[in-house]
């Protein structure tokens, strides 16, 4: 019978990795870079964990190696480590450049998410656009002058010295 891949299984595999090899997988600000053949080494321990399959292990390692802490660890450390926590090889410069690029991309995404959460309206307007009925925009039907999603309140925010966002006023713009 084929094992089902779920997020719950992946999280249990991640917890098992931390319990089984705490020196290598303990979460923190700078994780140890893993050896290049760590996937095959871990699959050798299939009999210890019933939820361990190739797909769940692959997803668990993907989540581990794309985290901020792991990418910082690749930039900070000089060697890769095996399951026992022993240094097995040096990190190549190309792998460092890839880690640096991925880290920049993650930081860019987190900045964009912070910016969109500051405006306040992006979440409301995106929700309303997704709820809009498809027949409102059909070519055979005349459109109202004011679509339903344009009647949402607009909230204006003001930035203060400590970068805390406070609502200043709520303005309701109704066309008509």
Residue 70, domain extent: 7-115
Q: Which of 29, 13, 17 is nearest to 103 (CA)?
A: 29
CATH number at residue 75: 1.10.1710.10
Helix 93-119 and helix 121-131, axial crossing angle in degrees, nearest 10: 80
Mean pLDDT of 81-87: 90
Of 115, 145, 163, the residue that ends a domain is 115
Predicted confidence (pLDDT) per residue in 29-53, tens digit = 778 999 998 999 999 888 888 888 8
Whether residue 28 is contained in a domain is answered as: yes
Contact predicate 114/89, CB 8 Å: no
CB-CB neighbours of 51 under 10 Å = 18
Contact predicate 39/61, CB 8 Å: yes
Whether residue 127 is contained in a domain is answered as: no
Lowest model confidence (mean pLDDT) among 91-100, 102-111, 114-123: 114-123
Whether residue 12 is contained in a domain is answered as: yes
Same domain, 106 and 151: no
Same domain, 50 and 93: yes
Paired sense of beta strands 153-159 and 79-81, if any: unpaired
Whether residue 111 is contained in a domain is answered as: yes
Q: Which of 66, 58, 49 is nearest to 15 (CA)?
A: 49
Q: For the chain, what is the domain count?
A: 2
Whether residue 154 is contained in a domain is answered as: yes
Is pTM, for the whole model, over 0.75? no
Same domain, 33 and 95: yes
Structure confidence at residue 170 (pLDDT): 40
Lowest model confidence (mean pLDDT) among 5-14, 28-37, 137-146: 137-146
């Amino acid at each position: 019978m084929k094992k089902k891949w779920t997020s719950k299984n992946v999280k249990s595999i991640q917890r098992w990795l931390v319990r089984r090899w705490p020196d290598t997988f303990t979460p923190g600000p700078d994780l140890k870079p893993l050896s290049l053949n760590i996937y095959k080494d871990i699959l050798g321990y299939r009999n210890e964990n019933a939820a361990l399959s190739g797909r769940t292990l692959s997803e668990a390692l993907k989540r581990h190696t794309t985290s901020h802490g792991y990418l910082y660890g690749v930039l900070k450390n000089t060697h890769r480590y095996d399951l026992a926590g022993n240094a097995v090889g040096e990190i190549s410069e190309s792998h460092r450049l890839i880690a640096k690029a991925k880290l920049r991309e993650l930081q860019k995404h987190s900045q964009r998410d912070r910016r969109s959460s500051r405006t306040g309206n992006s979440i409301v307007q995106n929700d309303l656009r997704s709820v809009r009925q498809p027949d409102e925009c059909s070519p055979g039907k005349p459109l109202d002058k004011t679509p339903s999603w344009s009647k949402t309140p607009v909230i204006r925010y003001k930035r203060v010295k400590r970068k805390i966002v406070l609502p200043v006023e709520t303005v309701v713009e109704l066309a008509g």
